[in-house]
Structure 1
Amino acid sequence: MAAFLSRGIAGTLGGICLLLLVCLPEVAAATATDTTAVAKQRSFTVGVGAYSNSTFFGRSQAEKFPYWTTDLTYKAPSGVWISALNYDLFSTTTLRDETDLSIGWDWDFTQRLDGSLSYSHFFFSPDSPLLKSAVSNSLDGYAGVDWGFLYTRLNADYVFGEAQDFFLVLDNSRYFEIDNALSTKGILSFEPRASVMAGTQSFVTTSIEQQLNRKGKGRPGGTGTTVTTTGTRFSLLNYELRVPVTYSLGKVSVEAAWRYLHPVHTLADDTSKPLSIFSGSVYVTF
């Protein structure tokens, strides 16, 4: 198990080092006069998580794919961040079924308005069974408003690769916190979130075609497929409810979460159905 974990983290660490080179000029911009401020804002987070199933923008496979992740994230004082996330499916023999390298920028317009922009590139193992393997890049952005009693965020996502799709996701959440939980420094927090998603779903058709061709179930010669629908129409795709519970003590945070997804307007060849996903994760921030 130790070797298994070290290999996964080693692969992820290689990706984070590559991205650090990209952000080196930004990090070096800090002067000696703002050392104190930098020390208070700069962070490096390491995380490990386990999930009961895999989904991608409201869609899932007929087969259940539980997986675990290793996650490394660095955030600079300016709000620029880089991350490397490694996925390992329990049902495969490979240690790196997917690795995501991301770079982004988070900022606060005011105390009530915030936003983010990011780019991610995805690497998959050969013959990946994941729906997500139909795309290899993602451009993401959001704008959020804190109403006091509610936090509303509108996300826009463009994914591209063998398939191209665009999504809009509207989130509404509320953060609750209990101080001095189990310890004078312990914090117990809850942030239930309800989401509605709309977009295209070409990635579903492309992924189904990939899987059929790999299994030789397409047209004679294995070069075609039996897929009869496309996903180029923009429509409502999914409703989601997420309830995470997090306990933080110093630099360590432990989270347990439940998600319920209800897909709508699925394609004729799509096997997505309503499902619950459970997850647990541990993060350490330096």
Structure 2
Amino acid sequence: MIRRLFLTVMFLASFGGQLLAQDQDSVETESIDSIGYDFVIVNPRFQNAFTFMGRDFGLDIPVLSTDLMYYFRSGVYVNLSALKFIEENLPWQYALSLGYATDLSEKTDINISVSQFLVAGESAIAGIQNLAFVQGSFGWEWGPLYSSFQTQGLFSEFGIDLFLSSHHSRYFEIDQRLFKSITVSFEPKLSIMAGTSNFYLMGNFEIFPEEREALNQFEFLSTEFMLPLTFTKGMFELEFQSRYVRPFNVPLFDPSRPRYLFLAQASYSLPIKKRIKSRK
């Protein structure tokens, strides 16, 4: 039971920054000097099993989650995430994030954010109420691929975990629209992740002293290959994603293994018109 509660935090952290990593739809403005748009973005999703850094911890629990984001035209955003394991006796979990995302040029962008995790009710795991997650990423459209490089920090009462990852994808769009109005696209993505493993200390695992020391070592953690198929109509987007996850350097006490996952998610962006004061 305690171990399964700990996995909630791992799942929420694994989605940090992903919503803004998707391409945003553009909105035609009446006058670029007088009208701008903020966005309210709703993003519910279902995954048939959770993973964190390629690890499923030997469990097979479906997860239902959603994001509610307010994205300011300046690039600042506030996001509330809610998550529920589809299993009895596991409470709702939440994460509140504040971030900033912007294009540096036509081919580069950045995204930074900080998140605080919140637990509904009592938690049997020490440290979750004081858990924070910080991430920063740099994206580069350098030719055949779009690549992003991400640094993440997970802060808890048990110490700090540092993660480094790189994500590489290629966007494809089918020329002819489905039913003359729906854009169909797919974007294969390869992710490579490395980092430390102090997060195991929140899971009530039986860890021997020599294994405890190894958790501070910076190691290659996992690779993931994702193949999403996306249907877009206006501000609405529906995505189905298959994913192969392969963990590396898994401790002996962790029964995680390679596996295939399935994810489905929807996203709706509601534009909020803002009048911009013209500078004289």
The answer, yes or no, to whether TM exceeds 0.5 is yes
Q: Which amino acid aligns with 1:198?
A: A
Change (3 A) 1:275 1:127: farther
Q: Deviations over 1:45-95 (max 9, x none)?
A: 112211111112222221212111122111111111111111011112456
Between the aligned partners of 1:124 and 1:191, the Cα distance in structure 2 is 34
Between the aligned partners of 1:179 and 1:99, the Cα distance in structure 2 is 40
Which aligned pairs between 1:104-119 and structure 2 lie closer than 5 A? 104-119=99-114
* Residue in structure 2 matching 1:171, options 167, 172, 175: 167
Larger helix proportion of the pair:
1
Contact in 2 for aligned 1:140/1:155 (Cα 8 Å) = yes
* Residue in structure 2 matching 1:156, options 146, 151, 154: 151
User: Does 1:185 pair with 2:181?
Assistant: yes
Q: What SS is found at the alignment partner of 1:144?
A: strand
Q: Which amino acid aligns with 1:112?
A: K
Partner in structure 1 of residue 256 of structure 2: 272
Contact in 1 for aligned 2:118/2:129 (Cα 8 Å) = no
Offset, 1:181: 2.2
Q: What SS is found at the alignment partner of 2:203?
A: helix
Which aligned pairs between 1:203-218 and structure 2 lie closer than 5 A? 203-204=199-200, 206-209=201-204
* Residue in structure 1 matching 2:56, options 46, 57, 60: 60
Question: Quick one: higher RCO (CA 8 Å, sep 6+), 1 or 2?
Answer: 2
Partner in structure 1 of residue 193 of structure 2: 197
- TM-score, length basis structure 1: 0.76
Q: What SS is found at the alignment partner of 1:68?
A: strand
Partner in structure 2 of residue 281 of structure 1: 265
Between the aligned partners of 1:64 and 1:233, the Cα distance in structure 2 is 27
Q: Which amino acid aligns with 1:252?
A: F
Q: Which amino acid aligns with 1:148?
A: G
Change (3 A) 1:33 1:198: closer
For structure 2, which runs of at least 5 residues remain unmatched after alignment? 1-30, 271-280
For structure 1, which runs of at least 5 residues remain unmatched after alignment? 1-31, 213-224
* Residue in structure 2 matching 1:122, options 99, 117, 121: 117
* Residue in structure 1 matching 2:223, options 236, 239, 250: 239
Q: Which amino acid aligns with 2:231?
A: Y
Identity percentage of aligned residues: 28
Between the aligned partners of 1:33 and 1:115, the Cα distance in structure 2 is 23
